[in-house]
Amino acid sequence: MIADGQTLIAVAAFLGGGLAMGLGAVGAAIGEGYTAAEANYALSRNPQGAGDLFKTMLVGQAIAESASIFALVIAMILLFSNFGSTSLVTASALVAAGLSMGFGAVGSGIGSGLPAAAACGGMARQPAMGGRLTTNMLVGSAVCQTPSIFALVTAFILIFTDFSKEAVNPAWAAVLGAGLAAGLSAIGSGIGGGVVAQASCEGIARNPHSQKQVINIMLLGQAITQTPAILGLLISFILIFKQVEATDAIAPGIALLASGLCMGIGAIGPGVGEGIASSGGVKWIARNPSFAGNLTRTMLVGMAVAESTAIYSMVIALALIFVV
Amino acid sequence: MNELGKIHQLIIPFLGHNLTFNLEAIAMTWIVCGLLIVFGLLAAYRKARVPGPLQIVGELFVSQLFSLTEDALDKEMAKKYGPLICALFMFLVLSNWLGILPHLEEPTRDLNTPLSLGIMGFVISHYVAIKTKGLKAYVKEYFEPIFFMMPLNLIGELAKIVSISFRLFGNIMGGSIIILVVSYLTYSILLPPLLNAFFGLFVGAIQAFVFTMLTLVYISVQVK
């Protein structure tokens, strides 16, 4: 077998494309299935609203699918583009782009199915609130997509940056670490954001008068839930754009790869945890809007504590990049 | 596709350092500022009891954002910080919408814009904290719950700047990349207007609101 540069790039692009679409198909499918299941429940509860319910289910599923469509775009680009470079770093970057987008689509796909499901359930309970519930679902699902958009940005940067002048040895690990950091860290925040939006759709259906407060708190909660994904994005940017010195030793490269893994895996838990914390806040503000101030403060403090583990991961990741 | 990520920079050597100016971001920021000033003048030009259309839009912005500020801070502070929140939101929303016009692009697509706005919010919130609580109580908070948590508390505070600015930047940058790539793949048929509506108008407005809301919350958390 001859492994010249051209072949290597082609192999990497196919591998990356396959990983992007394969992993990218996981999340959206789960989210959409959950939405459809809840729509069936809602229909059996309130058969008169069948038309509206059907529409809401389809719209919700379409938005949940967008994370997968991002993965499809990346996979198509990887499969059908010509890459001029023959460097090993570029090959590694193409695989990393696939990994980043593939993992990044998992969380947002699952997450944005949850508000759609809650909106269907809520419409069965409160048919008069259909329009507002749909709006709330659209806003919640759109914000849920943010982590997958971060993964997409990283994937594009990895594909279109010229790495051919970089020193091969540590740089291959740096770009791979960058892809993993952005991709894995998007999983938790995607799911967490979905849990928050689900709680808000449910809350509005229970207590329509609380709508304005609930939307504000939901956006706030989702925004803070995205922090782990943003820290992952930061680490991946540092890994991509940092100048690395050429070396024969294996350790510096592995340190960079480990830094990406540390940030990526370390951000999954905080993302989900903050989502759960914030969903509690949203849920109880919807039932008891007069205590919104106190509840918001407790929610914010709780989220900050849940976030601290993501910050520990970031500290270790930065130490791995700059100190070790 | 090749214009992806290319920007025009003006580099001026100054005392041994290179000063770099991102020309697009500067020009677009000035356009946004100019448009906002024109809008403000027109909205307040002929104030009437029965308001004209522009006056209604202006009043809507001001009253909504003021009530939001009053909910988060108290009435006294809202008078002081309401205008800031108003201006921040209007600037961001117009910045995020600017990209849907051909040949213009969002100033928020350049990381420098969100980052400087984020640092501004950070500085203001800490200034407010020192002013209301006093320096001693303010410093003491960093040593809670135990004294050796200080470095981590400090990093946690700095992470706020990163998270608020990268969130806006990532969303706007991601949206514009998706629009560009899909336009290229479909030869600008059918899909790009829909994508512009979703990423430009919808996501742009949401992210502008999120940024404003977070700045407000950062201030209110420091006060209470």
Task: Please report the domains of chain A, with CATH numbers, ordered by start residue.
Answer: 5-322 (1.20.120.610)
Residue with more model confidence, B222 or A318: A318
* Residues of chain B with C-beta less than 8 angstroms from the C-beta of A307: 156
Q: Nearest Cα to A301, choosing from B54, B103, B144, B109?
A: B144
Question: What mean pLDDT is predicted for residues B140-150?
Answer: 78
Q: Token pair of A83, please?
A: 């890459």
User: How confident is the model at residue B1, as a pLDDT?
Assistant: 53
pLDDT tens track for B171-191? 888 888 888 888 877 787 778
DSSP letter at B144? -
Chain A, nearest residue to B145 by Cα: A305
Q: Is residue B208 part of a domain?
A: yes
Answer yes or no: is pLDDT of A191 > 90. Answer: yes
pLDDT tier at A23 (50, 70, 90 boundaries)?
very high
User: How confident is the model at residue B43, as a pLDDT?
Assistant: 84
Task: Give the lowest-confidence range in A23-32, A292-301, B122-131.
Answer: A292-301
Query: Where do the H-state alpha helices sit in chain A?
Result: 5-45, 50-80, 88-125, 130-144, 146-160, 168-206, 211-225, 227-241, 251-266, 268-287, 292-322
Question: What mean pLDDT is predicted for residues A105-120?
Answer: 93
Q: Token pair of A67, please?
A: 């994370």
Helices A292-322 and B150-185 cross at an angle (nearest 10°) of: 90
User: How confident is the model at residue A200, as a pLDDT?
Assistant: 94
CB-based contact A189:A105 (threshold 8 Å): no
* Residues of chain A with C-beta less than 8 angstroms from the C-beta of B213: 216, 219-220, 223
- ipTM score: 0.77
User: How confident is the model at residue B3, as a pLDDT?
Assistant: 56
Range of the domain at B194: 9-223
Closest CA–CA distance from residue B199 to any residue of chain A (Å) = 9
Question: What mean pLDDT is predicted for residues A277-300?
Answer: 89
Interface contact A152-B171, CB threshold 8 A: no
Closest CA–CA distance from residue A263 to any residue of chain B (Å) = 14
User: How confident is the model at residue B37, as a pLDDT?
Assistant: 93
Q: Token pair of A203, please?
A: 């809350």
Question: What mean pLDDT is predicted for residues B51-75?
Answer: 85
CB-based contact A184:A103 (threshold 8 Å): yes
Q: Is residue B4 part of a domain?
A: no
Q: Is residue B55 part of a domain?
A: yes
Residue with more model confidence, B54 or A27: A27
Task: Please report where in the chains the tokens 């790495």 appear, as a residue.
Answer: A163
* Residues of chain B with C-beta less than 8 angstroms from the C-beta of A226: 163, 167
Q: Is residue B152 part of a domain?
A: yes
Interface contact B152-A308, CB threshold 8 A: yes
User: How confident is the model at residue A187, as a pLDDT?
Assistant: 94
Q: Is residue B28 part of a domain?
A: yes
Q: Which of B178, B202, B224 sits opposite A142 (nearest CB)?
A: B202
User: How confident is the model at residue A151, as a pLDDT?
Assistant: 93
Q: Which of A72, A73, A156, A213 is the best mutation test for B, with the most CBs of B within 10 A?
A: A156
Give φ, ψ of A8 to 5 degrees.
Answer: -60, -45
Q: Over chain A, what is the mean pLDDT?
A: 89
Question: What mean pLDDT is predicted for residues A309-316?
Answer: 89
Tell me how far apart the alpha carbons of residues B146 and A169 are, in angstroms, rounded to a whole number.
42
User: How confident is the model at residue A22, as a pLDDT?
Assistant: 94
Q: Is residue B1 part of a domain?
A: no
Question: What mean pLDDT is predicted for residues B193-215?
Answer: 87
B5 Ramachandran zone, left/alpha/beta (phi>0; psi -120 to 50) = left
pLDDT tier at A5 (50, 70, 90 boundaries)?
confident
pLDDT tier at B76 (50, 70, 90 boundaries)?
confident
Q: Token pair of B42, please?
A: 């027109």
B187 Ramachandran zone, left/alpha/beta (phi>0; psi -120 to 50) = left
Q: Is A41 on the interface with B (CB under 8 A)?
A: no
Q: Over chain B, what is the mean pLDDT?
A: 85
User: How confident is the model at residue A2, as a pLDDT?
Assistant: 57
Answer yes or no: is pLDDT of A108 > 80. Answer: yes
Total count of domains within chain B: 1
Alpha-carbon dihedral sign for residues A58, A60, A61, A67: positive
User: How confident is the model at residue A50, as a pLDDT?
Assistant: 85
Neighbouring C-alpha atoms within 13 Å toward the C-beta of A126: 18
Question: What mean pLDDT is predicted for residues A54-72?
Answer: 90
CB-based contact A72:A18 (threshold 8 Å): no
**DSSP helix/strand/coil, B17:** strand
Q: Is residue B111 part of a domain?
A: yes
Question: What mean pLDDT is predicted for residues A38-46?
Answer: 91
User: How confident is the model at residue B132, as a pLDDT?
Assistant: 87
DSSP string, A83-145: -----HHHHHHHHHHHHHHHHHHHHHHHHHHHHHHHHHHHHHH-GGGHHHHHHHHHHHHHHHT
User: How confident is the model at residue A260, as a pLDDT?
Assistant: 94
Question: What mean pLDDT is predicted for residues A135-163?
Answer: 89
**DSSP helix/strand/coil, B12:** strand
Closest CA–CA distance from residue B214 to any residue of chain A (Å) = 7
User: How confident is the model at residue B4, as a pLDDT?
Assistant: 57
Q: Is residue B21 part of a domain?
A: yes
Q: Which of A68, A149, A210, A215 is the best mutation test for B, with the most CBs of B within 10 A?
A: A149
pLDDT tens track for B98-142? 988 888 888 888 888 999 999 999 999 999 989 888 888 888 888
Tell me how far apart the alpha carbons of residues B198 and A70 are, in angstroms, rounded to a whole number.
14
Answer yes or no: is pLDDT of B2 > 60. Answer: no
pLDDT tier at B50 (50, 70, 90 boundaries)?
confident
pLDDT tier at B6 (50, 70, 90 boundaries)?
low
Answer yes or no: is pLDDT of B84 > 70. Answer: yes
